[in-house]
Amino acid sequence: MPYHNTYLFADIPIGITSETSYLHTLCKDYVTDEPPRYSLTVTREDAEKERSLLSPHFHQGYLESLAAYRKISEAILCDDIILFHSSAIMVDGKAYLFTAPSGTGKSTHARLWREMLGNAAVMINDDKPLIRIQNGIATVYGTPYDGKEHLSTKTHAPIAGICILSQAKENSIRRITPSEALPTLLSQTYRPQKRELMQRLMPLVVALSAAVPVFHMGCNISAEASALSYQTMKEATK
């Protein structure tokens, strides 16, 4: 018997049907009574396609959850929403995002912010949040797809800054131009294979680069690095 429910992703109600219950347990905090704007079905074939991209050892439910998020991300492009690989943290009602290739330390940097700021810092999502761009304003939303440590909050906040991280012995940070930021922002955005969807995606990434201050930071894993990024980004985005 298939499993079905409707969930709210970035304020968009989406009905999802799958063969196993795993993704419905994953998304249980996002259940909504609103009628779905999109109705998606995840099949065994979808799960097997994910398996071919990853590892034969993952169970079907997990693979279904990945296939579902892929379908969700493609459907909501029509609502000016993108999936952006990053760690998103909220301070004083504003969101700051850290992005970088896997293994660079974005989750660690976000953790250092939380250690430095205590309860003033709220983790929106530690891996795959959604960003909605409307009227020149970018808002980040929590999702249940939140990384190995499952750090997320069902909330949203306007984005005050994005920090692109790279590893370095000495800490330094500077604001970069939208054109400088664009290649990395695009590389960290989920990019669909269909041409028509990419044509929808590209203007959204350009709009994101223009709407939000973007910084590049070379850093080590230290409290000094987190203090520098916090002070710089907060001051520049007042």
Looking at this protein, which amino acid is placed at residue 37? R
> Residue 134 is part of which domain span?
81-236
- Can you give the pLDDT at residue 57? 87
Residue range 203-231: average pLDDT? 93
- Can you give the pLDDT at residue 102? 79
Residue range 179-185: average pLDDT? 96
Q: Under the phi-then-psi rule, with left for phi > 0, alpha for psi from -120 to 50, and beta for the rest, what region is 157?
A: beta
Long-range contacts of 11-17 (CB under 8 A, 24+ apart): 11/132, 11/141, 11/156, 12/37, 12/38, 12/76, 12/79, 12/81, 13/37, 14/38, 14/39, 14/40, 14/72, 14/75, 14/76, 15/39, 15/40, 16/40, 16/41, 16/42, 16/68, 16/72, 17/41, 17/42
Q: How many CB atoms lie within 10 A of CB 158?
A: 14
Tens of pLDDT, residue by residue over 37-93, are 999 999 999 999 999 988 888 999 999 999 999 999 999 999 999 999 999 999 999
With 90 as the cut, is the pLDDT of residue 97 above it?
A: yes
Are residues 58 and 102 both part of a single domain?
no
Are residues 47 and 86 both part of a single domain?
no
Banded pLDDT at 221 (limits 50, 70, 90): confident
With 70 as the cut, is the pLDDT of residue 190 above it?
A: yes
- Can you give the pLDDT at residue 30? 98
- Can you give the pLDDT at residue 101? 82
- Can you give the pLDDT at residue 220? 86
Are residues 109 and 221 both part of a single domain?
yes
Are residues 18 and 91 both part of a single domain?
no
Residue range 10-24: average pLDDT? 97
Banded pLDDT at 1 (limits 50, 70, 90): low
Are residues 73 and 88 both part of a single domain?
no
Are residues 100 and 74 both part of a single domain?
no
Whole-prediction pTM = 0.95
Share of the chain above pLDDT 90, in %: 85
Are residues 17 and 116 both part of a single domain?
no
Banded pLDDT at 20 (limits 50, 70, 90): very high
For 58-76, letters b (16+ CB in 10 Å) and e give eebbbbbbbbbbbbbbbbb
- Can you give the pLDDT at residue 142? 97
Which residue carries 């069902």 as its tokens?
154
Q: What total number of domains does the chain contain? A: 2
Tens of pLDDT, residue by residue over 113-155, are 999 999 999 999 999 999 999 999 999 999 999 988 889 999 9
**Last residue in a domain, options 79, 106, 130:** 79
Are residues 45 and 91 both part of a single domain?
no
Are residues 167 and 212 both part of a single domain?
yes
Looking at the chain, list the stretches that DSSP marks H as alpha helix, in order from N- to C-terminal side: 22-26, 44-53, 60-75, 106-117, 178-187, 195-211, 223-236
Q: Which residue has the higher pLDDT, 159 or 108?
A: 159
> Which domain CATH number covers 141?
3.90.228.20
Are residues 208 and 132 both part of a single domain?
yes
Are residues 125 and 34 both part of a single domain?
no
Residue range 148-166: average pLDDT? 94
**Last residue in a domain, options 79, 109, 130:** 79
**Last residue in a domain, options 79, 97, 112:** 79
User: What's the mean per-residue pLDDT of the chain?
Assistant: 94
- Can you give the pLDDT at residue 197? 96
Are residues 74 and 125 both part of a single domain?
no
